[in-house]
């Protein structure tokens, strides 16, 4: 049975991981590096199933896959970025279900990394090794990243899988302890196949979304969904730009009132595409990138948008 069959468009990554298993040369840690939405998490899941099923009877494979999907296998620890709310850590999905207003981006926190040594302090219960997956590894706080170093040096009977956009997004000391598995943006044919397979074929009719996605099915779906949540009038105001200072200040107020921080970060991507289409001005793109970094560094959002819009209307 080919456990990587659900994966589309990542032949090199799949081949590297399959060969590691076939040759019994499984590294202590892997870094699945590539832009979001192109299959990194799916490959991590397939690889995790393969590792946990080593020396497991064939008739138990389906049950094992189900337990991995549900996150209740005793030898698997899957860590995701979280929000902190009233002393609790909530994943993105949990925050959405609870209606939490997100004022910051989710992070991998030191408390989550401290779970790993405790998890590894006992031997695997069912599989031949334990598996730890750290999704969104680039969001680790500095303390969390430093706390992970010792585990990467001596993981014991375990394999760690880090998922991140690139090697540059992690500490070099972390990257040096991992075997890098590169991921690439999908071709138009593979992108079409993925979107149609998972029921998002209508996105293929929206060229603007496809241009934003640049070969990432996950980004296409996220952008398509996000676009529906931003009022058309607000998009038009931002695309046309205000004509004066008062208009810019008022528009900045509207953006921060109606959109949470993750939506504002997506809006930066959208405006980079639209402004380049409209103005072909690289300085504008630089201003947008500066605004993105400011939001990621928790600068007051309204101030970020006021400065951004005032700078842009001043040069256009």
Percentage of the chain modeled with pLDDT above 70: 98
pLDDT in tens, 92-111: 888 888 877 776 789 999 99
Q: Is the pLDDT of residue 1 over 60?
A: no
Residue 220 and residue 173 share a domain? no
Residue at 5 is within a domain: no
**In percent, how much of the chain has pLDDT > 90?**
76
Q: Are both 236 and 126 inside the same structural domain?
A: no
As a dihedral over the C-alpha atoms of residue 130, residue 135, residue 137, residue 138, rounded to 10 degrees, the angle is: 170
CA 21 to CA 10: how far, in whole Å?
17
Q: How far is CA 52 from the centre of its chain?
A: 24
Question: Looking at residue 94, what is its pLDDT?
Answer: 87
Nearest Cα residue to 271 out of 304, 245, 244: 304
Q: Give yes or no for residue 18 having a pLDDT over 70.
A: yes
Strands 29-33 and 158-164: parallel
CATH of the domain at 140: 3.40.50.300
Question: CA-CA distance, 10 to 159, in Å (whole number)?
Answer: 21
Same domain, yes or no, for 176 and 219?
Answer: no
For range 60-86, the mean pLDDT: 89
pLDDT recorded at residue 197: 95
Q: Do residue 109 and residue 176 come from a single domain?
A: yes
At 149 the three-state DSSP class reads: helix
Decide if 237 is inside a domain: yes
Cβ atoms 155, 9 nearer than 8 A: no
- Predicted TM-score of the model (pTM): 0.88
Query: What does the longest C-alpha to C-alpha distance in the chain come to?
Result: 70
Residue 240 belongs to some domain of the structure: yes
Residue 4 falls inside a structural domain: no
Find the mean pLDDT for residues 195-201. 95
What contacts 149, CB < 8 A, 6 or more positions away? 173, 174, 177
Domain edge (last residue) among 150, 182, 214: 182
Counts for the chain of helices (H) and strands (E), in that order: 16, 7
Q: How many Å apart are CA 29 and CA 12, to the nearest integer?
A: 18
Give, for 291, the enclosing helix (H) or strand (E): helix 282-296
Residue 42 reports pLDDT greater than 50: yes
Measured distance CA(84)–CA(141) in Å, rounded: 13
Query: Buried (b) or exposed (e) across 262-284, using 16+ Cβ within 10 A?
Result: bebbbbbbbbbbebeeeeeeeeb
118 and 254, same domain (yes or no)? no
172 and 221: one domain? no
Indicate whether 247 belongs to any domain: yes
Contact 134, 79 (CB under 8 A): yes
Domain that holds residue 213: 188-228
Residues ≥6 apart with Cβ < 8 Å to 19: 25
Condensed to tens digits (0 to 9), the pLDDT of residues 227-246 reads 998 999 999 999 888 889 99
Is 273 in the same domain as 164? no
What tens digit of pLDDT does each residue of 158-197 get?
Answer: 999 999 999 999 999 999 999 999 999 999 999 999 999 9
Degrees to nearest 5, angle at CA 33 with 1 and 214: 95
Q: CB under 8 Å to 24, separation ≥6 — which residues?
A: none
Structure tokens at 26: 């499984």
| Number of residues that this document lists for the chain | 316
Q: Are residues 70 and 176 in the same domain?
A: yes
* pLDDT confidence of residue 216: 97
Mean pLDDT over 210-220 rounds to 95
pLDDT by residue (tens digit) across 285-296?
999 999 999 998
Asked if the model's pLDDT at residue 152 lies above 60, the reply is yes
- 140 and 240 within one domain: no
Domain boundary residue, one of 170, 199, 228? 228
In a domain, 30, yes or no: yes
Does some domain include residue 2? no
Question: Are 162 and 32 members of one domain?
Answer: yes
Task: Indicate if 124 and 211 belong to the same structural domain.
Answer: no
Whether residue 1 lies inside any domain: the answer is no
My answer on whether 28 and 136 are in the same domain is yes
Which candidate, 164, 151, 133, 137, places its Cα nearest to that of 52?
Answer: 133
Count up the domains in the chain and report the number: 3
Residue from 182, 179, 225, 140 nearest 43 by CA: 182
């Amino acid at each position: 049975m080919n456990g990587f069959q659900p994966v589309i468009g990542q032949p090199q990554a799949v081949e590297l991981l399959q060969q590691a298993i076939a040759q019994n040369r499984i590294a202590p840690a892997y870094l699945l590096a590539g832009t979001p939405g192109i299959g990194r998490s799916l490959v991590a899941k397939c690889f995790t199933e393969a590792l946990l099923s080593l020396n497991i009877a064939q008739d138990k494979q389906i049950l094992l896959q189900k337990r991995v999907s549900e996150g209740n296998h005793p030898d698997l620890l899957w860590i995701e970025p979280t929000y902190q709310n009233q002393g609790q850590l909530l994943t993105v999905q949990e925050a959405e279900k609870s209606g939490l207003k997100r004022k910051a981006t989710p992070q991998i926190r030191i408390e989550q990394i401290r779970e790993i040594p405790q998890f590894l302090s006992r031997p695997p219960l069912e599989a031949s090794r334990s598996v730890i997956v750290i999704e969104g590894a680039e969001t680790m706080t500095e303390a969390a990243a430093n706390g992970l170093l010792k585990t990467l040096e001596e993981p014991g009977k375990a394999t760690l899988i880090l998922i991140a956009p690139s090697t540059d997004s992690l500490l070099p000391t972390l990257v040096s302890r991992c075997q890098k598995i590169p991921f690439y943006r999908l071709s138009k044919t593979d992108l079409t196949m993925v979107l149609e397979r998972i029921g998002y074929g209508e996105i293929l009719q929206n060229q603007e979304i496809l241009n934003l996605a640049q070969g990432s099915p996950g980004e296409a779906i996220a952008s398509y969904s996000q676009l529906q949540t931003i009022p058309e009038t607000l998009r038009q105001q931002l695309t046309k730009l205000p004509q004066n200072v008062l208009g810019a200040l008022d528009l900045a107020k509207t953006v921060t009132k109606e959109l949470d921080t993750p939506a504002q970060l997506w809006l930066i991507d959208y405006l980079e595409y639209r402004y380049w289409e409209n103005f072909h001005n690289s300085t504008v793109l630089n201003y947008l990138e500066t605004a993105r970094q400011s939001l990621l560094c928790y600068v007051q959002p309204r101030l970020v948008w006021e400065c951004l819009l005032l700078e842009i209307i001043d040069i256009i």
